[in-house]
Amino acid sequence: MATAPAPLPDAQLAREWLATMTLIRRFEERAGEMYARAKVGGFLHLSIGEEATIVGSVRALRESDYVISTYRSHGHALVRGTPPANVMAELFGRIDGCSGGRGGSMHMFDLSRRFMGGYGIVGGNLPIAAGIALASDQLETDEVTLCTFGDGASNQGTFGETLNLAALWRLPVLFMVTNNQFGMGTALGRHSAVTDLQRKGESLGVPGMRCDGMDVVDTHRVLAEAAARVREQRRPVLVEAVTYRFRGHSMADPEQYRSKEEVARWRERDPISTFSARLLEEGILDEDALAGIDAQALAQVDAAVEFAEASPYPRPESLYDDVYVLDGEVRGTYTTRRSAAAPTGDRPGAAVNDEIPQQLTEALAVGEDGGEPLREGS
Amino acid sequence: MALMRYRDALRQALAEELRRDQRVMLMGEDIGVFGGAFKVTDGLLEEFGERRIRDTPISENTIVGMGVGAAMTGLRPVVELMTINFSLLAFDQIVNHAAHIHYMFAGQATVPLVIRMPQGAGHQLGPTHSHCLEALFLHIPGLLVAVPATAADAKGLLKSAIRDENPVVFIEHEALYGVRGEVPEDPEHLVHFGAARIAREGSDVTIVGISRMALTAEQAAETLAGEHGVQAEVIDPRTLRPLDLQSILESVRKTNRCVIVEEGWPHGGVGANLAALITEQAFDHLDAPIRRVTGADVPMPYSKPLEDIAYPHPADVVSAALAVLEGAPAAGAGRR
């Protein structure tokens, strides 16, 4: 942890960081409400309490750098600039979602902003991050890939494999372990023999750093230094961001593994209220401006919900879209969409057995002209 | 045309595509300095250098995952796994990511990745190096699956795979690496996915052979013709995803009888799936139940006499074809 507070950035940047953290907080709160109202399905993992790790790290990057994250990634999409409306629409399973309603909460994606995805498999994103960095290296760009994952992921085989390979091949990956003290409901000291996570990469040739993940300024300071090292020295760095998740692992978490007192202690270090207080104290903001930032975030979230509600569900006919890329040089012959007549009844996603051969045979009927290879019906 | 071994045809495909497209690069265990466990990549390091021919640590899941990430951001990686059994260590990346990313993110990203791996019994490599697991990959939407049986197809399909925008599981066979065949020398020679090879025409019974079993089926067809006066039509699907079902159905409608030969296990196998498809599509054309000849439903044993009887040979296929021609009921899911 930093002994003295890191210096603030200029006022405009400081306000932007606060506004983005506030947006993430308000977005997550509203997402939780929408989940409780059954507007959102599946699992919902909120990052409330971890906003400084998200904003401090991503703001230390260039826009051309890549970000890849986990199943707790609404904030990573938002900080990268994906409109809250599209993130909320994804939670609602609508066509305007940032993954077209295909991914849901755990699988956000925005290629245009180089947000390379949220991934539902713990540790599954580390190899992909190294692959992205490999492409940067091979194509001789100076991009950095920020790969965030939780303390629980540091026990997966991919952690050791990927850190070793990234160090061995000098790949520009900035690994950030967001240590929120729990792998789901298992406390750090109960899941990792080494709890000083910044040291977990040492034997793999990856130097470690640590930041106070409850302080956006310190997080930014450390990540900026780490990103510069990665970019200039062409070698990976592992940063441990020490933080705490205020809410349960997911919405379905009775939180029997920790005490209310422990949560309350961490909440005293709330990254948004402490940063707000500092900005007030140093005269960067006044109370009116602070209220304005919050009001703006709430208005954005209101508009996002309204947008998501109005966005249509994906059409049943789109069920088979994008299973394959159909415009490759090898023509035709892929699984294709079902017949237009097929999706009847109240479960349009249910497979009808006798369609399977139809899809396969239809695939064979694809022409040799390289044109539109799909036909509706049979 | 040039006569060359299956492994040399694969190497030629890799070399041609490496020359053609700077984005193509290879990753795998001992593919560079060592030359490849089965010598497929021998000599490529010397021509293309260590940035494009990358020896990796033994980290299958991460190698494949890196291929996914690199493919999403502008490269066309070809990852070699030393055997298909090792692909099980990478199943997370192959299934959860390579196969699903294009769909899961609504088409925003593509994964033009090729994952090469050999399979098959016959070298006494025992229960962790000898299996035929193409059925596992056949199961997964989002993947393309190739199972070339000849040198020409090995080359043409691999070149197509590298040029394809989709993730391809490219399954070679260990027993075929040294087998010679005529291979087109045209660097634009491609074999399209989803087009079966009619290895032999015939009118009495259709025999579908998967991977090496296409050759086993051809040998059986010779015996059937020479010793039993039976003209078998032998079909090698060449790719399982997509599958050229149409050619198989056309053949079955002509012969009215069908035997499916695979080296993999019987339950949930390629033949089980194909038999279901044929039954659904051409039931009225069948004069006898479809018969499957498969690997034995056991882990592959080491000892030679046991290994020999754990995967199909031409004689097994001949027996199955004769049984189908007699209209005898199939004896169940086993190979005999």
CATH number at residue A227: 3.40.50.970
Question: Do residues A213 and A350 both lie within one domain?
Answer: no
Mean pLDDT of chain A: 88
The C-alpha atoms of residue A148 and residue A122 are separated, in whole angstroms, by 11
A131·B66 Cβ contact <8 A: yes
Give catalytic residues of B, as residue numbers. 60, 129
Distance (Å) from the alpha carbon of B240 to chain A's nearest alpha carbon: 11
In the predicted model, what is the mean pLDDT of residues B176-190?
Answer: 95
pLDDT at A333: 38
Q: How close, in Å, is residue B292 to chain A by CA atoms?
A: 19
Q: Is residue A137 part of a domain?
A: yes
Asked if the structure places residue A208 within a domain, the reply is yes
Average pLDDT over residues A104-118: 97
B102 vs A contacts (CB less than 8 Å)? 322-325
**pLDDT, tens digit, for every residue of A144-174?**
999 999 999 999 999 999 999 999 999 999 9
Q: Cβ neighbours of residue B90 under 8 Å, at least 6 residues apart?
A: B60, B61, B63, B64, B65, B81, B115
Q: Tell me, what's the pLDDT at A326?
A: 75
> Which is more confident, A353 or B254?
B254
Mean pLDDT across the stretch A339-344? 33
A215, A339: one domain: no
* Chain B residue numbers touching A334 (CB-CB < 8 A): 144, 166, 194, 242
> CB A328 to CB B164 under 8 A?
yes
Quote the longest CA-to-CA distance of chain A: 71
Query: Are A364 and B77 an interchain contact pair (Cβ–Cβ within 8 Å)?
Result: no
> A132 contacts in B (CB within 8 Å)?
69-70, 72-73
Q: Is the pLDDT of residue A345 over 60?
A: no
In the prediction, which pLDDT does A137 show? Answer: 97
List beta partners, residue A146.
A67, A174
Q: What is the pLDDT of residue A314?
A: 97
Are the Cβ atoms of A135 and B59 closer than 8 angstroms?
Answer: no
| Nearest residue on chain B to A119, alpha-carbon basis | B97
Answer whether B56's CB lies under 8 Å from B27's CB.
yes
Size of interface A-B (CB pairs under 8 A): 201
CB within 8 Å: B68 and A127: yes
pLDDT of residue A132: 98
The per-residue pLDDT for A262 is 94
Q: How far is A251 from chain B (nearest CA, A)?
A: 22
What is the full DSSP assignment across A193-217?
S---GGGTTGGGT--EEEEETT-HH
Q: Do the Cβ atoms of A58 and A146 come closer than 8 Å?
A: yes
Domain B197-326 has CATH 3.40.50.920: yes
Domain B2-183 identical in fold to domain B197-326: yes
Q: How confident is the model at residue A356 (pLDDT cuts 50, 70, 90)?
A: very low
> Given this model, what pLDDT does residue A232 score?
97
Contact B152, B184 (CB under 8 A): yes
Assess if residue A5 is contained within a domain: no
Q: What mean pLDDT do residues B178-184 have?
A: 97
Q: How confident is the model at residue A360 (pLDDT cuts 50, 70, 90)?
A: very low
Closest CA–CA distance from residue B223 to any residue of chain A (Å): 32
Beta strand A208-212 with A186-187 is unpaired
**β-strand B197-200 against B232-236: which pairing, if any?**
antiparallel
Helix then strand count (H, E) for chain B reads: 12, 14
Query: Does the pLDDT at position A353 exceed 90?
Result: no
Are both A323 and A291 inside the same structural domain? no
The beta-carbon neighbor of A357 closest among B102, B163, B277 is: B277
Mean pLDDT of the A66-80 span? 98
- Indicate if A248 and A374 belong to the same structural domain: no
- Mean pLDDT, to the nearest integer, of B137-160? 96
pLDDT band at A328 (very low <50, low <70, confident <90, very high): very low
Average pLDDT over residues A24-46: 97
Of chain A, the percentage scoring pLDDT greater than 70 comes to: 85
Alpha helices by DSSP H, A6-124: 11-36, 51-58, 74-80, 84-91
Given a cut of 80, whether residue B317 has pLDDT beyond it is yes
- Pairing relation of β-strands A66-68 and A145-150? parallel
Amino acid A159: pLDDT: 98
pLDDT at B335 over 50: no
Q: Are residues A74 and A144 in the same domain?
A: yes
Q: Where among A310, A345, A360 does a domain terminate?
A: A310
- Last-in-domain residue among A267, A288, A310: A310
pLDDT at A370 over 60: no
Task: Name the domain count of chain A.
Answer: 2
pLDDT bin (cut points 50, 70, 90) of residue A3 is low
Model confidence pLDDT, tens digit, residues A127-150: 999 999 999 999 999 999 999 999
What's the pLDDT score for residue B188? 93
Handedness of CA A82, A297, A151, A277 (dihedral sign): positive
Task: Please tell me whether residues A321 and A361 are part of one structural domain.
Answer: yes
Residue A106 lies in a domain: yes
Domain check: are A360 and A236 in the same one?
Answer: no
Give the 3-state DSSP-derived string for chain A, with helices as H, strands as E and coil as C: CCCCCCCCCCHHHHHHHHHHHHHHHHHHHHHHHHHHCCCCCCCCCCCCCCHHHHHHHHCCCCCCCEEECCCCCHHHHHHHCCCHHHHHHHHCCCCCCCCCCCCCCCCCCEHHHCECCCCCCCCCHHHHHHHHHHHHHHCCCCCCEEEEEEHHHHHCHHHHHHHHHHHHCCCCEEEEEEECCEECCEEHHHHCCCCCHHHCCHHHCCCEEEEECCCHHHHHHHHHHHHHHHHHHCCCEEEEEECCCCCCCCCCCCCCCCCHHHHHHHHCCCHHHHHHHHHHHCCCCCHHHHHHHHHHHHHHHHHHHHHHHHCCCCCHHHCCCCCCCCCCCCCCCCCCCCCCCCCCCCCCCCCCCCHHHHHHHHHHCCCCCCCCCCCCCC
Question: What band does A6 get if pLDDT is binned at 50, 70 and 90?
Answer: confident
Which of B66, B86, B92, B253 to mutate to test binding with chain A, by most A CBs within 10 Å of its CB? B66
Q: In A, which residues are within 8 Å of B164 by CB distance? A: 325, 328-330
ipTM: 0.94
A103 with A148, same domain: the answer is yes
Q: Name residue A271's amino acid.
A: P
B161 vs A contacts (CB less than 8 Å): 330
From the CA of B335, how many Å to the nearest CA of chain A?
26
Model pTM score: 0.91
Is B166 in Cβ contact with A164 (below 8 Å)? no
Is A131 in contact with B249 (Cβ distance < 8 A)?
Answer: no
What is the model's pLDDT at position A340? Answer: 34
Task: Give yes or no for a contact between A119 and A106, defined as CB atoms under 8 angstroms apart.
Answer: yes
Total Cβ atoms within 10 A of residue A139: 14
pLDDT at A357: 34
Is residue B327 very low, low, confident or very high in pLDDT (cuts 50, 70, 90)? low
Residue B162: CB atoms within 10 Å: 27
- A244, part of any domain: yes
Look at residues A310, A342, A369 and tell me which one is the last residue of a structural domain: A310
For position A320, what pLDDT does the model report? Answer: 84
Please indicate, yes or no, if residue A111 is contained in any of the structural domains. Answer: yes
Residues from chain A that touch B193, judged by Cβ atoms under 8 A, are 330, 333
Is residue B215 classed as helix, strand or coil in its secondary structure?
helix
pLDDT, residue A5, reads 83
> Domain map of chain B by residue range?
2-183, 197-326
Identify whether residues A134 and A94 lie together within a single domain: yes
Q: Verify that A333 and A304 share a domain, yes or no.
A: no
* Domain match, A141 and A102 both: yes
Residues A131, B160: C-beta atoms closer than 8 Å? no
User: A165 vs B56: CB contact, 8 Å cut-off?
Assistant: yes
How large a percentage of chain B has pLDDT more than 90? 93
Q: Which of A330, A331, A335, A374 has the most B C-beta neighbours within 10 Å, making it the best mutation to test the interface with B?
A: A330
A358 — pLDDT class (breaks 50, 70, 90): very low
- At residue A39 the predicted structure's pLDDT band, cuts being 50, 70 and 90, is very high
Tell me: do A147 and A40 sit in the same domain: yes
Is the pLDDT score of A361 beyond 60? no
Per-residue DSSP letter, B88: G
Give residue A276's domain range.
11-310
Parallel, antiparallel, or unpaired for β B205-209 and B53-55? unpaired
CATH topology of domain B2-183: Rossmann fold (3.40.50)
Q: Tell me, what's the pLDDT at A251?
A: 86
Q: Which two tokens stand for residue A371?
A: 């044109």
What pLDDT, on the 0 to 100 scale, is given for residue A325? 86
| Neighboring chain A residues of B96 at a CB cutoff of 8 Å | 119-121, 124
pLDDT (0 to 100) of residue A327: 57
Q: How far, in Å, are A8, A115, B125, B324 from residue A332 at the CA level?
A: 57, 31, 38, 34
Residue pair A20/A78 in contact by the 8 Å Cβ criterion: yes
Question: Considering the domain boundaries, does residue A371 fall inside one?
Answer: yes
